[in-house]
Amino acid sequence: MVHFLFQRSWQFLISLLGITLLTFVLIHLAPGEPTDLQTTLNPKVSAQARENLRRLYGLDRPLPVQYLDWLRRFATLDLGRSFVDGEPVSEKIWGRLPITVTINLLSLTVIVLIAFPIGILSATRQGSWFDKATTLFVYVGFALPSFWLALLLMLLFSVSLGWLPLSGYQSLSAAQMAPLERLIDWGRHLVLPVLTASLIGLAGYSRYLRSEMLEVIRQDYIRTARAKGLSERQVVYKHALRNALIPIVTLMGLELPALIGGSVIIETIFAIPGMGQLSYQAVLARDYPVVMGLTMFGAVLTLAGNFLADLSYAWINPRVRLS
Amino acid sequence: MKNPVEVKAPEDVSREPGPARLSHKALAWRRFKRNRVALFGGLIVLAVTLVALLAPILAPYDPDGINIEEILSPPSVQHPFGTDPLGRDVLSRIIWGARVSLWVGFAAVGIAILIGMAVGALAGFYAGAIDSFLMRLVDIMLAIPTFFLILAVIAILEPSIWNIMIVIGLTGWMGVARLVRGQFLGVKEMDYVIAARALGARDFRLIVRHILPNSLSPVYVAAVLGVAGAILTESALSFLGIGVQPPKASWGSILTAGKDNIEIAWWLSVFPGLAIFVTVLGYNLLGEGLRDALDPRLKL
């Protein structure tokens, strides 16, 4: 296990270094400079001022030097300052993180609560009407653009029925509300974003669990479990499900980038001031330290997710460690 | 084996009993024809392609024709899908939008497949250090949240239909690379490849003429499913206003108008999304059907 841990940590570091290099090169290869917005678009800025600005941000130095410098600061968690308001990028991200994490954790909970029973039932009753209905539902889920689903839910629950607020994450009058009232108000604002995110994620997870279950149920040890007279319930939940869940752990690690990408769309539609909205605004403003910082943050999160998934996978399944 | 005369030739043993021996492709086609869901998907794909090709004939109005007297008019006989905030006919814009979506989908997938095949072929054929390096690169690319990367690159390049295609292609090749590498690892050990090598075929010829053609089945499937993914990404970017730029009609950008007018014009939010949904569904069903037909072992 120690050897495995060491090996994976090493890979983690190499990948991290690769990602920083790749992101840096990609952003710098593109034509146009981050100071363009402040200089070219503003005729009052003289050539001298432009040069000063470039020097201030260190853009006049050779790329490798810029990269090493950026890497050194990244190692100390200093992601630079926003071009727009001068606020440190790391503080900007930390401030936006809680709401994004909340929405994603809530949707993940909903997904697990609904997708697992669907996956198990459709696998144990393969070919039944229930299986066919959920298969149809899965195909619909895969083809549904999240932003369209969001608009349809808004049309139904906010515009037609008027049950839920259209967007934002709190009412304008939230400051005057009592704590409990405020919590309810906050919850009502989160229903549609969480519903959208979970409906989109549901299809993948239930499908994946179904095929894992089908794979496991064919194994010899399941036949053995049945042959020794265990109840079907025990066979399915104790013997089959446990083994089918192992790859789901890995899937959760791999799904992180999609989750982060999805936040951009959902937070922009529902006007929720989270990380996704921050990245969208940063892109529009060409706020390049923020874009870079967010991409790195997302990449580190993904790598950490994969790393944890690998570890827990090895923890649950000793065969991986040996090979 | 006391009596060699009685030993059958290997090819006789391997031949399947049946009325006629069919090639791999013919067998796949036979399985595909029996799959009604896949045929339905194929029908959708065909229909959307025809709509895109015949857009000038099918569209009842000029998609860019502004009419300030009919701003945001609800669906009617004249305008079955209503009009947008500039009085343009939504049906005509959706019909022309099919061109944009398919064009971006095909081009992006084309780029992704070319890169993926090159990387996968090199990794699978040469193995060793080249393989480790390329596969590490794939892992790294997969760890970067693609949507962020696309946003970052679009922020710096101008958002345009060309840049969208290129960026989606450049961030979507990793899956194909893995598939092709896996195929290469198996196929390159086959007797006919070893024979070709013994006859003096050079690496390039081995890769392109001998191994690649036998490694393509999963690539077809990935290509069809990739078109669906690229259409989804393009419409998301256009919806956010950083994809295909107005006045060019795109399904995503019509939905932006729908979001801005959600309380007064439901039709702007419903119909363009339906077009995306149906098209993506069609490609997904076709791709899944193709997968089942080409490799029935995978069917669960």
The reply to whether A18 touches chain B by the CB within 8 Å rule is: yes
Residues B78-110: b if buried by 16+ CB within 10 A, e if exposed? ebebbbbebbbbbbbbbbbbbbbbbebbbbbbb
Q: Inter-chain contact A19–B144, Cβ cutoff 8 Å?
A: yes
Q: How large is the average pLDDT for residues A277-292?
A: 82
| pLDDT at B298 > cutoff 70 | no
Restricting to A residues 196-235, those with a Cβ less than 8 Å away from any Cβ of B are: 210-211, 214-215
What predicted TM-score, i.e. pTM, was given to this entire model?
0.83
Report the pLDDT value the prediction gives residue A320, as an integer from 0 to 100.
60
In chain B, residues with a C-beta closer than 8 Å to the C-beta of A14 are 136
A22, A30, A261 member nearest B147 (Cβ): A261
* Domain extent for B200: 25-53+90-294
| pLDDT at A220 > cutoff 70 | yes
CATH number of the domain residue B287 falls in? 1.10.3720.10
- Which among A59, A104, A151 is the top mutation candidate for probing chain B, defined by the most B β-carbons within 10 Å of its own β-carbon? A151
- Tell me, letter by letter, the H, E, C secondary structure of chain A: CHHHHHHHHHHHHHHHHHHHHHHHHHHHHCCCCCCHHHHCCCCCCCHHHHHHHHHHCCCCCCHHHHHHHHHHHHHCCCCCECCCCCCEHHHHHHHHHHHHHHHHHHHHHHHHHHHHHHHHHHHHCCCCHHHHHHHHHHHHHHHCCHHHHHHHHHHHHHHHCCCCCCCCCCCCCHHHCCHHHHHHHHHHHHHHHHHHHHHHHHHHHHHHHHHHHHHHHCCHHHHHHHHCCCCHHHHHHHHHHHHHHHHHHHHHHHHHHHHHHHHHHHHHHCCCCCHHHHHHHHHHCCCHHHHHHHHHHHHHHHHHHHHHHHHHHHHHCHHHHHC
Please report whether residue B61 resides in a domain. Answer: no
d(CA B84, CA B266): 11
Query: How high is the mean pLDDT of chain B?
Result: 84
At A144, list the tokens. 């549904």
In chain A, residues with a C-beta closer than 8 Å to the C-beta of B140 are 15, 18-19, 22
d(CA B86, CA B189): 62
Report the pLDDT value the prediction gives residue B123, as an integer from 0 to 100.
93
Q: Per mean pLDDT, which of A42-56, B150-164, B218-232 is the most reliable? A: B218-232
- Which among B135, B151, B270 is the top mutation candidate for probing chain A, defined by the most A β-carbons within 10 Å of its own β-carbon? B151
A152, A292, A299 member nearest B145 (Cβ): A299
Q: How large is the average pLDDT for residues A148-173?
A: 82
For residue B89, list its beta bridge partners: B83
In chain B, residues with a C-beta closer than 8 Å to the C-beta of A261 are 145-148
Restricting to A residues 253-282, those with a Cβ less than 8 Å away from any Cβ of B are: 254, 256-258, 260-262, 264-265, 268-269, 279-280, 282
| pLDDT at B285 > cutoff 80 | yes
Report the pLDDT value the prediction gives residue B4, as an integer from 0 to 100.
46
Q: How large is the average pLDDT for residues B175-199?
A: 90
Helix (H, G, I), strand (E, B) or coil at B83: strand
CB A135 within 8 Å of CB A229:
no
d(CA A27, CA A58): 15
Please report whether residue B143 resides in a domain. Answer: yes
| Residue bearing the bigger pLDDT, A50 or A211 | A211
Q: Inter-chain contact B145–A291, Cβ cutoff 8 Å?
A: no
In chain B, residues with a C-beta closer than 8 Å to the C-beta of A140 are 281
Q: How large is the average pLDDT for residues B72-88?
A: 82
Q: Inter-chain contact B262–A159, Cβ cutoff 8 Å?
A: yes
In chain B, residues with a C-beta closer than 8 Å to the C-beta of A282 are 155
Report the pLDDT value the prediction gives residue B284, as an integer from 0 to 100.
92
Report the pLDDT value the prediction gives residue B33, as an integer from 0 to 100.
80
Q: How much of chain B exceeds pLDDT 90, in percent? A: 28
In chain A, residues with a C-beta closer than 8 Å to the C-beta of B276 are 145, 148
B148, B156, B266 member nearest A32 (Cβ): B156
Interface contacts A/B by beta carbons within 8 Å = 156
Report the pLDDT value the prediction gives residue A167, as an integer from 0 to 100.
76
The predicted-structure confidence for B7-35, as pLDDT tens digits, reads as follows: 444 444 444 455 556 777 788 888 888 88
The predicted-structure confidence for B208-239, as pLDDT tens digits, reads as follows: 888 988 888 889 989 999 999 999 999 999 99
Q: How far is B237 from chain A (nearest CA, A)?
A: 9
Asked which of A183-197, A219-233, A247-261, B176-190 is least confident by mean pLDDT, the reply is A247-261
Please report whether residue B9 resides in a domain. Answer: no
Q: How far is B115 from chain A (nearest CA, A)?
A: 17
In chain B, residues with a C-beta closer than 8 Å to the C-beta of A288 are 155-156
For residue A81, list its beta bridge partners: A88
Asked which of A76-80, A260-264, B89-93 is least confident by mean pLDDT, the reply is A76-80
In chain A, residues with a C-beta closer than 8 Å to the C-beta of B263 are 159, 166
Please report whether residue B13 resides in a domain. Answer: no
Report the pLDDT value the prediction gives residue A321, as an integer from 0 to 100.
60
Please report whether residue B73 resides in a domain. Answer: no
Q: Inter-chain contact A302–B149, Cβ cutoff 8 Å?
A: no
Report the pLDDT value the prediction gives residue A165, as an integer from 0 to 100.
79
The reply to whether A25 touches chain B by the CB within 8 Å rule is: no
In chain A, residues with a C-beta closer than 8 Å to the C-beta of B258 are 151
Helix (H) or strand (E) segment spanning residue B189: none
Cis peptide before B247 (omega within 30 of 0): yes
Residue B286 pLDDT class (50, 70, 90 cuts): very high
Report the pLDDT value the prediction gives residue B118, as an integer from 0 to 100.
94
d(CA B255, CA B274): 10
Residue B2 pLDDT class (50, 70, 90 cuts): very low
What is the tally of structural domains in chain B?
A: 1
Residue B297 pLDDT class (50, 70, 90 cuts): low
Report the pLDDT value the prediction gives residue B86, as an integer from 0 to 100.
84
Q: Inter-chain contact A261–B284, Cβ cutoff 8 Å?
A: no
Please report whether residue B252 resides in a domain. Answer: yes
Q: How large is the average pLDDT for residues B69-81?
A: 81
In chain A, residues with a C-beta closer than 8 Å to the C-beta of B234 are none
| pLDDT at A272 > cutoff 70 | yes
Q: How much of chain B exceeds pLDDT 70, in percent? A: 90
Residue B68 pLDDT class (50, 70, 90 cuts): confident
Q: Inter-chain contact B255–A155, Cβ cutoff 8 Å?
A: no
Helix (H, G, I), strand (E, B) or coil at B3: coil
Please report whether residue B122 resides in a domain. Answer: yes
Q: Inter-chain contact B239–A14, Cβ cutoff 8 Å?
A: no
Please report whether residue B49 resides in a domain. Answer: yes
Q: How far is B14 from chain A (nearest CA, A)?
A: 28
Closest residue of chain B to A305, computed from CA coordinates: B143
Restricting to A residues 120-179, those with a Cβ less than 8 Å away from any Cβ of B are: 139-140, 142-148, 151-152, 154-155, 159, 166
- Which among B37, B136, B140, B262 is the top mutation candidate for probing chain A, defined by the most A β-carbons within 10 Å of its own β-carbon? B140
d(CA A164, CA A184): 11
Report the pLDDT value the prediction gives residue B12, as an integer from 0 to 100.
46
A30, A260, A262 member nearest B153 (Cβ): A30
Q: Inter-chain contact A19–B239, Cβ cutoff 8 Å?
A: no
Q: Inter-chain contact B152–A286, Cβ cutoff 8 Å?
A: no
Residues 6+ apart with CB under 8 A from A317: A246
Query: How high is the mean pLDDT of chain A?
Result: 80
